[in-house]
Structure 1
Amino acid sequence: MTTAGRAAIRRNRDADWDAWPVARYLADNYRQMHPCDRGVIQHHSLFYRRFPPAGLARTLELGAGPNLYPLMLAAGASRHIDALEPGAANLAYLRRQLTHGPEESWTPFYALCKALDPALPATLGEALNRVHAVRGDASGLPDGRYDAASMNFVAESVTEDYGEFTALCGAFVRAVRPGGRLVAAFMERMPSYRIGDGPVWPACPVDETALRAVFTPRTVALTVSRLAKDPTLPEYGDTGILLLTAERPAP
């Protein structure tokens, strides 16, 4: 507690991301397809269909976690996908999926992705062959490496510090080359949260105004849309999902 009697702001470094509860998180959120998943997949599929099949040499999934469907979607346009993940538990799960084949529960997700984008490989296994799981975080990203980058439920879900949230979003933008494209999803107004009965994880409640304040000075062609709160998900305190696309401007 601070001297004023209020809890100190928790930042990314204050949480043990190596101990992220992968099994419970998947059970609560991804063992079946929720309406919000359909909404995010439809939005992101439209983003990737802007590009020719396999037209992007290298793309990024920042803070990949154990969620495979953003990686599926990228496989229609990208020849090489870096799934960047700092947490040991999430990274181990990703590597198992890539090495031993994806769990059956991901099959309906890929069926929807494939229906929306026929350019995707014939099977989920083929799509994941383009994915490379890499341990790391935004602090180590080189400037301009990627043709496009994706980030889903990350920047707002790892810190209570708005300044750190802003810096993480800035690193996300800088990861793509000038003219490179960005797609992202954010939990709207989500406070710090629990997965099941585990510890409290830090989060920064953001809304459309906050996203526009962060991304407008750093990008062009910015769009922000919204999905209504999904009552089929656990109660995290959010009010919905915000979906973003943008482009890094030329110098």
Structure 2
Amino acid sequence: MDLGSPGEKHRQAVPNAQAPWAGFDSRAYVKANYLRLHDEDAEIISIMRDHFGDYFREHRQDADPVIGIDVGAGANLYPALAMLPWCKEITLVERSPQNLEYLESQLESYDENWNQFWTVLRENAEYQAYQGDPRRRFHEVTRVEPGNLLDFDRIARRGPWSVGTMFFVAESMTTEREEFDRGVGSFMRALAPGAPFFAAFMEHSEGYHVGAEFFPACDVGEQEVYESLEPFAGKIDTLRLKRLGAPGNLRKGYSGMIVAYGRRNLDSDIPES
């Protein structure tokens, strides 16, 4: 999500490798999106916290330690905060050099603007039960790692992860449907069988500006999102999708947002890559 409007000259095909990731202005992105809590983010957080809260309430006695991953973290900390109470380790994977620098800058003591996002998470009883200092725990358990969702094998070998998030990544890195589907598959294959996940997508995005640069987007709606996730999450649990937000609330050039959540299938149900 970012301010700015796509123009006709940007409607050409732009694969992931051709996008100007070195020019992604993380400070401009945070200023436009995360200095204050937007209603859309508050709604997304409420759905995500209840999904994770319900899962970990039912599985709190599981013996294996919980490790989390946020794929394409960008300059957004709230997906990691949503996993924080249960994880002994959280990996933030990101490609853009400026975003990697921003994430590293937040590890010691994240900025005050992220407190309002934690407050929304705390409206769920499972998060209220966590009595630790979230800023200190974020410092203790979070690590930042460079990585590309379309070249994910090296990172995926460190998994499988117990819980995962992917916010506005697969559809916001390319115009190509094949790369979108491959990105979603890479994310889902990195998760452990039965792992809870939460993903968010811009619906029918035409692309977006961050600072002086324009970045591509793949035009997807609920059907495309469902088709990309169903092979990985349609067996063990009901795959849930919800459309929210109004066109143009945050920027021009998209029709809404889609959140998708559930649990990853068992290994025997995952299609071969």
Match of 1:215 among 221, 229, 239: 229
Distance 2:247 2:10 in 1: 31
User: What's the CA shift for 1:90?
Assistant: 0.4
The residue number in structure 2 matching 1:142 is 156
Is residue 249 of structure 2 the alignment partner of residue 239 of structure 1? no
**Structure 1 residues 28 and 54, CA, compared in 2 at 3 Å: closer, same or farther?**
farther
User: What's the CA shift for 1:106?
Assistant: 1.4
Count of aligned pairs = 244
The residue number in structure 1 matching 2:170 is 155
Match of 1:110 among 115, 118, 121: 118
Matches within 5 A, 1:1-251: 8-49=12-53, 50-52=55-57, 57-99=66-108, 101-116=109-124, 117-128=127-138, 129-138=140-149, 139-140=151-152, 141-142=155-156, 145-196=160-211, 198-220=212-234, 221=237, 222-229=239-246, 232-233=249-250, 235-250=251-266, 251=268
Which amino acid in structure 1 is aligned with residue 182 of structure 2? A
Which amino acid in structure 1 is aligned with residue 165 of structure 2? S
**Percent identity over paired residues:** 27
**Structure 1 residues 199 and 73, CA, compared in 2 at 3 Å: closer, same or farther?**
same
**Structure 1 residues 83 and 76, CA, compared in 2 at 3 Å: closer, same or farther?**
same
TM-score for both structures, normalised by structure 1: 0.90
| Deviating 4+ runs (over 3 angstroms) | 5-8, 52-56, 119-122
User: Of Structure 1 and Structure 2, which has the larger fraction of its residues in helix?
Assistant: 2
User: What's the CA shift for 1:36?
Assistant: 0.5
Which amino acid in structure 1 is aligned with residue 148 of structure 2? D
TM-score for both structures, normalised by structure 2: 0.83
- Aligned residues: CA RMSD: 2.1
User: What's the CA shift for 1:212?
Assistant: 1.1
CA deviation string 1:36-94 (max 9, x = no partner): 01011101101211214696521110001111111111102222111111111001111
Which amino acid in structure 2 is aligned with residue 162 of structure 1? R
